[in-house]
Amino acid sequence: MSIRHRDLPMDQETTRMNVPACREFDGIICIGGSDWWYHNRGHFDFQVMRRFARTMPVLYVNSLGVRVPDATNPGQFVSKVKRKLKSLARGVVNVENGFWVFSPLSIPGQTGKKISGFALAPQIRLAAGRAGMTRPLLWMHCPAGADLIDELKPVGTVMQRTDRFEAFPEGNPVLLTEQVTKIRRAADMVVYCAPHLMAEEASEVRSQLLVTHGADAQAFIAEGSKRAPGPADVAVIGKPRVGFIGGIDAHTFDPDLFIAVAKQMPTVNFVMIGSCSLPVGWCELPNVRFLGRKPYDVIARYMAAMDVLIMPWNKSEWIKACNPIKLKEYLAVGRPVVTTDFPALDGWRDLVRVANDADTFASAIRASLTQPYNPADARTRVAGETWDAKAEIILRGMSGLGLVYRPSHASVSWSTAFRTVLAPRSAG
């Protein structure tokens, strides 16, 4: 493990020679990029925070939102509002170990900030107190929480820069850029998952740490080795099956490429697992099946039920800066992978087929369906890419900057008391 510092050339990875002053924190407040109750729990911040929570209190603050729901799409608008209200109604929940989840009242956008911004920090401060924290470290993922750095006055701040939020097409790019810049400048350390983005921002941060995405490797390897028929809703779909598992969203997914490929392969069933934010009716091909979002705990079973797994990404700035978690999950489950190109494929290209247009993508799928595939090399490569290992790298990185966890009396007494009180509600 090593940390890159702003005053060092990018071809050197090292730690500071002087020993930094120790700053002790008694828990972590994570301003997350997703909602624990409704999004895929394979995300970086979910996975890392759950590991941290085995030894310290963690308060995961559900996404504050970077966009206002689209009122011109009544169905989607109502769905998102209902989902947010349900999340708010749960209050502060001790989900597992020292991992707490909280949904504050927060309205996205500039106008929403004026209405609810004054109450955001007090809500989070109160929730952190219930989790037993008085000297928190602030982990920033969602840029909408930028002002919390000043308002919560944390012991230290770590920025999770695993997404280029300012490239999110449904957000306000000017506002998001301002928020990202503010967090980046204030952070003691910025954690990147994509080396290309890390190199691009080397001169703009105090210290950097590269931590590529992990995977629950053994769980995916075990499920893929069973060769089971899969869950009932996919087992009834004829083979061959080509699967995509993940969000079907405009800022990542290439619908035109996908449709062109599926049209070329009418005898192949394309199975889509995940939520979809594309317009209704965007794909009505008879060989494309949409099975919706599934709980994280069963995702490996769906992947294992496929003959080929695909990643038809677009060429957006978001994709250029990302490091898709599903790449390692796909490889662990042990099925051939066909993907469009993206920078974070470096180091993994020999294990997948890369295609950037419909004809070559379809040809790559055909080759994957007809040629023998041995998953051993891919599984061996992925086996060490665990979330436990990633969390340990981050903790060592923070320690190298003098940010050290030290439990306080409040951490012990409050967390124990509230676990007892909230025990009936603690199921995730």
Shared domain for 49 and 87, answered yes or no, is yes
In terms of domains, do 247 and 315 share one? yes
Q: Domain span at residue 265? A: 217-382
Query: At what angle are helices 409-421 and 109-130 packed, to 10 degrees?
Result: 100
Domain annotation covers residue 147: yes
Q: Cα separation of 88 and 105, whole Å?
A: 7
Average model confidence (pLDDT) across the chain: 86
Amino acid at 194: A
Question: What is the largest distance, in Å, between two alpha-carbon atoms of the chain?
Answer: 64
Question: Exposed e or buried b for every residue in 176-198, given b needs 16+ CB within 10 A?
Answer: beebbebbbebbbbbbbbbbebb
R_g of the chain, CA atoms, integer Å = 22
Do 127 and 272 lie in a common domain? Answer: no
User: Could you tell me what percent of the chain has a pLDDT over 90?
Assistant: 69
Higher pLDDT: 84 or 169? It is 169
Residues belonging to the chain:
428
Q: Is residue 396 part of a domain?
A: yes
pLDDT tens column, 55-114 = 999 999 998 865 545 455 555 545 555 655 666 667 799 999 999 999 997 655 555 554
Give the CATH number, domain containing residue 168.
Answer: 3.40.50.2000
Q: Is 83 exposed, middle or buried (0-12, 13-18, 19+ CB in 10 A)?
A: middle
Burial letters for 310-321: b for 16+ Cβ neighbours within 10 Å, e otherwise?
bbbbbebebbbb
Q: How far apart are CA 226 and CA 229, in angstroms?
A: 9
- Report whether 165 contacts 180 (CB < 8 A): yes
Considering only residues 229 and 288, tell me which one the structure prediction assigns the higher pLDDT: 288
In angstroms, the CA 382 to CA 385 distance is 5
Q: What angle do CA 386, 387, 393 make, to 5 degrees?
A: 100
Shared domain check, 122 and 18? yes
Q: What is the pLDDT of residue 227?
A: 81
Residues 369 and 347 grouped into a single domain: yes
Which amino acid belongs to residue 181?
T
Would 38 be classed as within a structural domain?
Answer: yes
Quick check: 249 and 313 in contact, CB under 8 A? no
| pLDDT computed for residue 183 by the predictor | 97
Q: Is residue 165 part of a domain?
A: yes
What local confidence, expressed as pLDDT, does residue 169 receive?
Answer: 74
* Residue 31 domain-assigned (yes or no): yes
CA distances 395 to 331, 357, 401, Å, are 27, 41, 10
| 162 plus 265 within the same structural domain | no
Q: Which residue has better confidence, 47 or 323?
A: 47
pLDDT of residue 34: 86
* 88-97, 181-190, 297-306, range with the lowest pLDDT: 88-97
Phi/psi at 382 (nearest 5 deg)? -85, -25
Give the residues across from 313 on adjacent strands: 253
**Between 321 and 232, whose confidence is greater?**
232
Domain contains 427: no
Residues 10 and 103 reside in one and the same domain = yes
Q: How many CB atoms lie within 10 A of CB 221?
A: 22
Is residue 236 over pLDDT 60?
A: yes
Same domain, 208 and 83: yes
Model confidence over 109-142: pLDDT tens digits? 555 554 455 689 999 999 999 999 999 999 999 9
Q: How many CB atoms lie within 10 A of CB 238?
A: 9
Strand 99-102 and strand 92-96: pairing? antiparallel
> How many domains does the chain divide into?
2
According to the model, what pLDDT value does residue 228 have? 86
Q: Is residue 428 included in any domain, yes or no? A: no
Q: Coil, helix or strand for 60?
A: strand
Residue 15's pLDDT band (cuts 50, 70, 90): very low
CA distance 238 to 268: 8
pLDDT tens digits, 386-417: 999 999 999 999 999 999 999 976 554 444 44
Q: In terms of domains, do 17 and 147 share one?
A: yes
Mean pLDDT of 161-189: 90
Alpha-carbon distances of 358 from 41, 53, 169, rounded to whole Å: 31, 44, 24
What pLDDT does residue 422 have? 38
Does residue 377 sit in the same domain as residue 390? no
* Over residues 234-261, mean pLDDT: 96
Q: For residue 295, is it within any domain?
A: yes
**What SS3 class is residue 100?**
strand
Are 136 and 154 spatial neighbours (Cβ–Cβ below 8 Å)? yes
Whether residue 237 sits in one domain with residue 321:
yes
